[in-house]
Amino acid sequence: MAEFDDQRSRVPESVFLGVLWALTGTSFLFVIFRIYAQLASFHRVFLDGYLVVFAWVIMLTAAVIWQVEGKVLYELYAISAGPKPFNLEFLPRYNTSMRFNAPLQILFYSALWSVKFSFMAFFYRISAKVKSLRIWWFVVLFCTASVYIASVADIEYKCSLGGLVYIITQCPQPHHVHYENRMFWANCAGDVITDLMILSIPFLVLWKTRISLRKKLILLSIFSATIFIMVTAIIRVAVGMNYDRQMNIDWLCFWSFVEVDVAIIVSCVASLRQLFVASQNQSLSARAAYHDTNDLILKKSKEEGSQDLSRSVGDVESPANDEVPMSPLSVVHVRQDFEVTRGNASQSANGEKACRPQTSFD
């Protein structure tokens, strides 16, 4: 893709491979937690979960390709710097390696946009019930899909698949270099703009939601983690770029891997939040069920206690086993009224009482 005497490495091979596989392994753990969170919370995997898994599989494929073909690029750097002499046997390997350049860019954009569409699928579930938010969601979806198509379409395919002669003689020319640099800048701008548009959806949802300020700040901080994705996208293109020189392939690929893996990790944080909320809800539900059971027993005890006490009115002594189960004394109120009547002497003589007590229980 460039002249052999104008190639320098910006990321050492050992550092590249170490960071590459560390991020691949870390993102894999987050993907597993994301799937577990959805299964634990909803007993199913939603579309956003499948899209993240798809993005991780794409990046795993790209990592394997780089592990095999990236050695040729660093061999080119060694030849350009002088430690290794040039020989004709290197040219076929270089041509084969360059054929993977355009496919790697397609894999990168496909994985990154899979994460974006995963965010879109996740936010659709929380915004679809509001008409204005649903309309804005479709606008964002259209813009995001359009930028993906443009990013894949403007790749300089001839400088990857055009053959060794074209790559060596034509691709280092200024008009090719300027076109590629403009392409990288345009794709970076589209990447950041679509991230901001996607991030606007949860902000609008939270703006219309009546929850505590603390919960809003927690959710906003989680969703704002997408800023790290934007930062890596800008670093990938902006840092050390010269408009008149070709961009280093190792630098571009290194930050491409970092951006996508960070995007996968950030997208999984929301599901980890779901798992925490679900576990809290399960705990609260268990406590509520426990208290409801106790309240039911207490209510039943009150009713049975009232019936037992009513049956014992007028008795001097109650049977030993006639107890009121689980009925606290504070809920039993005894009220005794006396009805005073006049009677004649004959009635009194016959043993009828003048005062008849009436006892009732509240």
- Alpha carbon of 194 to those of 48, 116, 188, 318: distances in Å? 17, 8, 10, 80
Q: What is the CATH T-level fold of the domain 4-286, as seen in this structure?
A: Rhopdopsin 7-helix transmembrane proteins (1.20.1070)
Which tokens sit at 196? 């901001």
User: Can you give the pLDDT at residue 272?
Assistant: 62
Query: How many Cβ atoms sit within 10 Å of the Cβ of residue 310?
Result: 11
Q: Could you read off the pLDDT of 159-192 as tens digits, one per residue? A: 999 998 999 889 889 998 999 999 999 999 999 9
pLDDT < 70 positions in the chain: 1-7, 240, 270-362
User: Can you give the pLDDT at residue 9?
Assistant: 80
Q: Is 31 exposed, middle or buried (0-12, 13-18, 19+ CB in 10 A)?
A: buried
Which tokens sit at 17? 């491979």
User: Can you give the pLDDT at residue 273?
Assistant: 55
**The overall pTM is greater than 0.85:** no
Instruction: Find all residues with CB under 8 Å of 97, minimum gap 6, and list them.
Output: 69, 72, 73
Residues 49 and 286 sit within 8 Å (Cβ to Cβ): no
Instruction: Find all residues with CB under 8 Å of 147, minimum gap 6, and list them.
Output: 187, 190, 191, 193, 194
Rounded to whole angstroms, the Cα distance separating 239 from 237 reads: 6
Residues 39 and 104 sit within 8 Å (Cβ to Cβ): no
CA 328 to chain centre: 50
Give the closest residue to 4 by CA, choosing from 105, 57, 77.
Answer: 77
SS3 state at 295: helix
Q: Could you read off the pLDDT of 22-54 as tens digits, one per residue? A: 999 999 999 999 998 888 888 999 999 999 999
Give the orientation angle of helix 131-153 with respect to helix 174-207, to 10 degrees.
170
Backbone torsions φ then ψ of 25, nearest 5 degrees: -70, -40
Residues 52 and 114 sit within 8 Å (Cβ to Cβ): yes
User: Can you give the pLDDT at residue 128?
Assistant: 78
SS3 state at 230: helix
User: Can you give the pLDDT at residue 228?
Assistant: 86
Strands (E), 235-348: 334-340
Instruction: Find all residues with CB under 8 Å of 133, minimum gap 6, and list them.
Output: 127, 201, 204, 205, 208
